[in-house]
Structure 1
Amino acid sequence: MLLCADNSLYGGFTTDVAKRFATHVAGKGAKYTKVHRPLKVLFSQEFESKHDALHAEWAFKHQSRQKKLQFLKQQGISMQK
């Protein structure tokens, strides 16, 4: 999960978090992060399979912002830039 400059949250699938984050920062990632500049990685999680990871990504993208913020708070993660 990435924190973007406009305080929005972005979630996606990758096998290499650091490399994917660098791609997003360089403006070569997803369309969303080209417009909403990513600032930092807030959270990442490993999964047993690609299927499980993609399912989690889908679930994340279908949650409200409120639920995402609640999750971050439960994990003790700060949204500060």
Structure 2
Amino acid sequence: MGCMKRSRSVVVGCDEGTIMIKLGCEEPVASMYSSARIIWSKHNKIQAVNIKTVSADIEAADDERLPLAVKELGSFDLPAKLKT
């Protein structure tokens, strides 16, 4: 096992190979459902978007942002014991 100071990466190695695990993330965690709905959290807000609402006449290239209407589903707060 190994890590670098001030890094979020941990490396684990053995005879069969190695794996690098990145702890934490800078991007919000997202979940996409088969109904083309994406839900994610950012800070303490829960947001959602429906991809089916994109107009058919919009042509987007790869890596181009789509004009989506984000809905806020609510917010949450962590208990005092979990806050760091």
Q: TM-score range by the shorter chain?
A: under 0.3
Q: Work out which structure has the larger RCO, using CA pairs closer than 8 Å and 6 or more positions apart in sequence.
A: 1
Larger Rg: 2
TM-score, length basis structure 1: 0.22
TM-score, length basis structure 2: 0.21
